[in-house]
Structure 1
Amino acid sequence: MRKLLGLCLSAALVALLLSYGVWTSQRPLGHYLSDLRSHLAINQGTPAGRGNLLGIETELYPTDYQDLERLHRKLAAWLQQAREQGLLNDKTLVVLPEHIGTWLFAAGEKNQFYKAETVDEAMTWLAWSNPIKFVSALLNARGEQRLGDAHLRMKAQSMASDYQQLFGGLASEFSVTLVAGSIILPEPHIEGGQLTVRPGPLYNVSLVFGADGKPLGQPQRQVYPSVHQGGYVQADRQAPLQVFDTPAGRLAVLIGSDSWYPDNYARLNASGAELIAVPAFIPGRQRWSAPWPGHTNQGLTLPAGALSEGEAWQRLTLTGQPSQSNARAGISVFMHGQFWNQGASGDSFVHQQTSPPGAPLGGTRLINLWL
């Protein structure tokens, strides 16, 4: 009797494991109607044959990332609308927001993942749906927040491939130079023209793609990660600040909070940077108008509470420090949207111009600066 009971329990366990294995392999696509609309929020200057900086302040949601073709369709629709408005030419530099590539960890997941109510619930579904990848990533995780590290590390190779395919493809399709926001990856490098990852710490990086769809230089690492990602993203104070030759001029990329530091502008002055792109991300729907909390990193003297978060960004970045930068133009581009219970905020700006009072905050916005 015990032998029979043991056989039954073993058979049930095998059946349960097989069912779990089948469940983890299923990735049905849910129906989703994307909002493909955009509107021109800022259009500064006049065309003079010198090109333009075009920021796309995207509004995105987890389900946009379920399928790479779906995400491509949405981004391509916004670029096509910019083309129809005469905003794309062979000297256009398109700038996308920080972390637009990081959310690629959400690609190809189960419907329960996208229907989660909170980020924590979504990450639980992510782990259960990819048990082998998750356990392997957790064993190799680093930093103070090993769980957060593992969630990003577990799909790093596919994320790198999707990132290059998506954004390099868009640059080639629309014949523009494209600053592809940023993505968090372990030890990312360009090898043989391909974005690859290696064992090591996670870095927040940005790639610039030329009009031929090929990456320019190496991934630009973030020097000073922001507080909300400091537990798992590695700072790289020695990272070179690259300057890329583009049809519109010599371009540099400062990711997010890197745009606050005078020493970064001094380094770019020495390299002859003419244009500065700032892909940026602020977690929280109300953070942009909330009081500036201050910052503990050396070199920032703006006291907490003196300004709003938005006013602090404009004070600290290139636009508020003309005497410290020789660049002739800059643009800061933020992401909007709602990722489970985490929203995002920030009004993109060029120089010292922000959205006019009363401008709608919803939807994707095009931010254009003629050079």
Structure 2
Amino acid sequence: MRKLLYFTASMALIAALTSYAIWTRERPVGHYLSDLRINLAVDQGQPADHGNLLGIQPELFPTDYQSPERLHRKLAAYLQQARDKGLLNEKTIVVLPEHVGTWLMVSGEKNELYQAATLKEAMNWLAVSNPLPFLRALIVAKGDSRLQDAHLRMKAKAMARDYQQLFGGLAKEFQVTLVAGSIVLPEPSVNQGTLQIGSGALYNSSLVFGRDGLPIGQPQRQLYPDFTERGFISPAKDQAVNVVDTPAGRLGVLIGSDSWYPDNYRRLDEQGAQLVAVPALVIGPGTWDKPWRGYKNEMTPSEISLKPGELSEGEAWHRLTLTARAPSSQATAGVSVFLRGQFWDQRSTGQSFISSPEQTYADDAARGARLLNIWL
């Protein structure tokens, strides 16, 4: 009798494990409907032979990331509308927002993940749907927030491949220079034209793609991550600030609140940066209009006298982002581009803006995708 019970229990366990293994491999594709419209919010200057700086503020949701093809469809629709408006040429620099590549981590997942109510629930689905990759990533995870590290690390190789194929492909398809927002990867680097990952710490990084679809230079790593991300994203404060040559001039990239540090602009000026791209992100309903909370890491520049609460979050971004503000920055133009949309219970609320020596031009709409353009 005992042997029969052991046999029955063993068979039940095998059946359960087999069913679970089959379940983890199933990836049914759910219904997809996405708004492909985008409005031109800012168009400054006159077309000339010097090119233009074009910020694309997309409105994105988890289902847009169900496959790279879906994300391509939406971003390509935005770019096509920019082309139809006469905003794309061989000297155009297109800038996308922070973490637009990071969400590739949820590509190719089960419908339950996209239908989750909260980010935490979605990440639980990500883990249980990929048990072996998640466990392997958890074993080698670094930092204080090992779960968050593992969620990002487990699919890093595929994320790097999809990021280059998607955004490099868009640059080549539309014949533009493309600042591909940012993506979180372990020790990213470009080797012989291919974006590769290492086995070390995670970095929030941005890559620029040329009109041939290939990377220009090395990834720019974020120097000062937000304190909410410091448990799993490492600061790269000892890394150089990169400046790359583009058809429109020399371009520097500052990720997020890296654009709040005057020393970064001095380092860009030393390398002759003429243009500055700032992929950025602000999370939380109404955060843009709430009191500014101060510098979101352990370092506050000594020359900054602005105190937390003196201004709103949005006003602080305008005050602290020094693109094209002589003598702090010698750049001729800059654009700060924020992600719009909602990822489960996390809503993005930043409002993109363009800077020139004369004025700052901002989008003040609460929702929706926007184009912001300045002719150089």
TM-score range, shorter chain: over 0.9
**Structure 1: how far apart are the matches of 2:347 and 2:4?**
55
Contact (CA 8 Å) 1:314, 1:320: kept in 2 or not? no
**Structure 2: how far apart are the matches of 1:302 and 1:102?**
31
**Structure 2: how far apart are the matches of 1:267 and 1:102?**
27
Q: Which residue of 2 aligns with 1:355?
A: 362
Contact (CA 8 Å) 1:57, 1:366: kept in 2 or not? yes
Contact (CA 8 Å) 1:220, 1:241: kept in 2 or not? yes
**Structure 2: how far apart are the matches of 1:53 and 1:303?**
32
In structure 2, give the amino acid aligned to 1:211.
R
Contact (CA 8 Å) 2:59, 2:369: kept in 1 or not? yes
**Structure 2: how far apart are the matches of 1:104 and 1:51?**
30
Aligned-residue offset at 1:242:
1.1
In structure 2, give the amino acid aligned to 1:323.
P
Q: Name the SS for the 2:27 alignment partner.
A: coil
Q: Which residue of 2 aligns with 1:337?
A: 341
Aligned-residue offset at 1:320:
7.9
Of stretches 209-218 and 322-331 in structure 1, the one that deviates more from structure 2 is 322-331
Q: Which residue of 1 aligns with 2:27?
A: 27
Within the alignment, does 1:297 sit opposite 2:299 as a pair?
yes
**Structure 2: how far apart are the matches of 1:235 and 1:355?**
29
Question: Where do 1:226-305 residues align within 5 Å?
Answer: 226-295=226-295, 296-299=298-301, 300-305=304-309
- How many residues are aligned here? 369
**Structure 2: how far apart are the matches of 1:189 and 1:229?**
21
Of stretches 155-164 and 290-299 in structure 1, the one that deviates more from structure 2 is 290-299
Query: 1:8-42: per-residue Cα shift (whole Å, max 9, x none)?
Result: 11011001000000000011110111110000000
Q: Name the SS for the 2:211 alignment partner.
A: coil
Point out where structure 2 has 5 or more consecutive residues left out of the alignment.
Answer: none
**Structure 1: how far apart are the matches of 2:123 and 2:345?**
12
Aligned-residue offset at 1:102:
0.4
**Structure 2: how far apart are the matches of 1:237 and 1:113?**
35
Aligned-residue offset at 1:321:
4.2
Please report the TM-score for the alignment, with normalisation by the length of structure 2.
0.96
Q: Name the SS for the 1:333 alignment partner.
A: strand
Query: 1:36-57: per-residue Cα shift (whole Å, max 9, x none)?
Result: 0000000111112110000000
Aligned-residue offset at 1:353:
2.7
In structure 2, give the amino acid aligned to 1:363.
G
Aligned-residue offset at 1:192:
1.9
Query: 1:155-212: per-residue Cα shift (whole Å, max 9, x none)?
Result: 1000000000000000000000000000000001111211111110000000000000
Aligned-residue offset at 1:363:
1.4
In structure 2, give the amino acid aligned to 1:11.
M
Aligned-residue offset at 1:247:
0.5
Q: Name the SS for the 1:323 alignment partner.
A: coil
Q: Name the SS for the 2:360 alignment partner.
A: coil
Question: Where do 1:1-371 residues align within 5 Å?
Answer: 1-295=1-295, 296-299=298-301, 300-319=304-323, 321-351=325-355, 352-355=359-362, 359-371=364-376
**Structure 2: how far apart are the matches of 1:212 and 1:194?**
13
**Structure 1: how far apart are the matches of 2:237 and 2:349?**
27
**Structure 2: how far apart are the matches of 1:45 and 1:247?**
18
**Structure 1: how far apart are the matches of 2:204 and 2:45?**
32
In structure 2, give the amino acid aligned to 1:341.
D
**Structure 1: how far apart are the matches of 2:7 and 2:305?**
70
In structure 2, give the amino acid aligned to 1:13.
L
**Structure 2: how far apart are the matches of 1:128 and 1:241?**
39
Q: Name the SS for the 1:322 alignment partner.
A: coil
Contact (CA 8 Å) 1:347, 1:354: kept in 2 or not? no
Q: Name the SS for the 2:374 alignment partner.
A: strand
**Structure 2: how far apart are the matches of 1:318 and 1:221?**
19
**Structure 1: how far apart are the matches of 2:285 and 2:174?**
32
Aligned-residue offset at 1:285:
2.4
In structure 2, give the amino acid aligned to 1:210.
G
RMSD (Å) for aligned C-alpha atoms:
1.1
**Structure 1: how far apart are the matches of 2:305 and 2:200?**
33
Point out where structure 1 has 5 or more consecutive residues left out of the alignment.
Answer: none
In structure 2, give the amino acid aligned to 1:184.
V
Aligned-residue offset at 1:322:
2.7
Query: 1:133-153: per-residue Cα shift (whole Å, max 9, x none)?
Result: 111111111111111111111
Runs of 4 or more, structure 1, over 3 Å off, are none
Contact (CA 8 Å) 1:260, 1:316: kept in 2 or not? yes
**Structure 2: how far apart are the matches of 1:265 and 1:158?**
34
Contact (CA 8 Å) 1:51, 1:90: kept in 2 or not? yes
Contact (CA 8 Å) 1:206, 1:219: kept in 2 or not? yes
